Amino acid sequence: MSIRTENETEPHTPRWRRLAANTGMQVLVAAIAAAIFGLLVPHVAEDLKPLADMFIALIRLVIPPIVFLVVVTGIVSVGGMKAVGRIALKAIIYFEIVTTIGTLLGLLAINLFRPGDGVAPPAGASGDLGSYVEGAKEKSIEEFLLDLVPDNVVQAFATGHIIQILIFAILFAIALLAVPKQVSDPINRACGKLSKVFFRLVAMVVRLAPIGVFGAVSYTVGKYGPETLTALMKYVGLALATLIVFLTLVLGTVTRLCGVSLVRLIRALRKELYIVLGTSSSEAVMPHLMARLETFGCKRDVVGLVVPTGYSFNLDGVAVVVPMSAVFIAQVYGIELGFTEQLTLFLVFLFLSKGTAGITGSAFITLANLIAAVHFIPVAGLALILSVERFLSLMRAMTNVLGNAVATIAIARWEPGALDRDQLARTIGRKRPARTTEET
């Protein structure tokens, strides 16, 4: 069965038409055009902010049902993986360790270099800032803990209270696992189908991203000048540098332990990475990646378990960049996040990031979820990230693919009989590592 992304067209379509139909290219063109428009007619450009506001409102519209459905189906699927024993346990432990390291690395980088200092905030900054700072100071630990538990599910969905929706979804999934399978299976399948519908709705909303980007960049440049975009590119550069450090130090260490060269692995996956570069979606290459990993010598049952699970629980690019974006927005607004706030941000992100789909726009939804959940970072700051989302999306998606490839090889390497090391050495082109005592 052929798989087509939202931006794919017929093979015989001229290249210029395929580029014109690509949402990512449209966003890039819209950002450039908006920057020029904001410089030429700044007074008119300032009035285009509602375009960005409406786009963000549409994104926030689908957040509550997506969080509920993805968390429920994710927990139920993890519960079903108990039958596979050691592989599932090793995979989950690996995912948690690597994504936690990535998140901490991103927070360290954004706090050390602080690219948001001196950047002019988007619309309503002065009016909104006080309420966010005040809210962060006034909420006690007791109030925060009580606020986690919803006393009205309908109200939680109506107000978009992400943490309460998350708690309800976890409880619902646990209850679903406790009832007979003839009851739980139809509900789980229905949740899976509904999640596909809502992610299709997200894809439809993302098609409007060029309009939202045009409004956001036009307003930002028109009101605050080109210096803002220069500062934003500093943040993009820092995010890229942090991802490179993550790939080199973290994934590089894992591949060395597995007897694989990270550079040669990237070279072997260059076709898949080219596809990601064109679609900004790591999900677009999932079938290709699974087939490729089998040619590296990984057993099919390991690949079939680790890769799909990794696309929900092991998105390394998202783990590094999304918390950085949240702290960057706080820096732009002049909100000094102390240890307690950043610990809250870290812990909330660890929950919200699980179940994130590897499709274009899902990381932006995760960022919106995170900001809405912690209540001490202005939601209006999403307009800044939106203007450079195209660049961030490319970097995140490529890191996600490499992260899941390394994870699969690592789990197969550490599971007895799950990896043909001779075939791995031949395909990756690295000398076969010495056998461990366990294998002799």
The CATH number assigned to the domain holding 285 equals 1.10.3860
Closest to 421 measured CA to CA, from 31, 140, 412? 412
Is 87 a domain residue?
A: yes
Q: Is 116 helix (H, G, I), strand (E, B) or coil?
A: coil
CA distances in angstroms from 219 to 125, 325, 328, 382, 383, listed in the order given:
13, 20, 19, 13, 10
| Within a domain: 240 | yes
| Cα–Cα nearest to 299, from 423, 430, 403 | 423
Domain boundaries, position 241:
15-432
Helix (H, G, I), strand (E, B) or coil at 419: strand
At a CB cut-off of 8 Å and minimum separation 6, what does 144 contact? Answer: 344
Is 2 part of any domain? no
Q: Per the domain annotation, does 69 fall within a domain? A: yes
Angle at 409 (CA atoms; ends 355, 71), nearest 5 degrees: 10
User: Does residue 159 form part of some domain?
Assistant: yes
Residue 67 CA, distance from chain mean position: 13
How far is the CA of 79 from the CAs of 29, 174, 408, in angstroms?
45, 9, 20
- For the chain, what is the domain count? 1
Instruction: Judge whether 263 lies within some domain.
Output: yes
Tell me the one-letter amino acid at 204: M
Looking only at Cα atoms, what is the longest distance across the chain?
74
pLDDT for the residue 113: 92
CA-CA distance, 369 to 325, in Å (whole number)? 12
Classify residue 83 by burial, with Cβ atoms within 10 Å: 0-12, 13-18, 19+. exposed
pLDDT at 44: 87
Rounded to 10 degrees, what is the CA torsion of 346, 213, 362, 232? -30
Based on its alpha-carbon atoms, the radius of gyration of the chain, rounded to whole angstroms, reads: 22
pLDDT at 99: 94
Mean pLDDT, contiguous 10-residue spans, the chain (440 residues): 44 65 73 86 85 78 79 66 65 92 96 85 49 43 65 81 77 85 89 84 79 81 68 87 96 91 88 70 73 85 77 88 93 88 89 62 80 83 78 88 94 84 76 46
Give the global pTM.
0.64
Nearest to 334 by CA among 283, 374, 376, 386: 376
Residue 106's pLDDT is 96
Instruction: In whole angstroms, give the CA distance from residue 273 to residue 284.
Output: 10
Written in H, E and C, the secondary structure of 210-242 is HHHHHHHHHHHHHHHCCHHHHHHHHHHHHHHHH
Helix (H, G, I), strand (E, B) or coil at 298: strand
User: Distance from CA of residue 62 to its chain's centroid?
Assistant: 16
Residue 10 covered by a domain: no
Structure tokens at 364: 């932006």
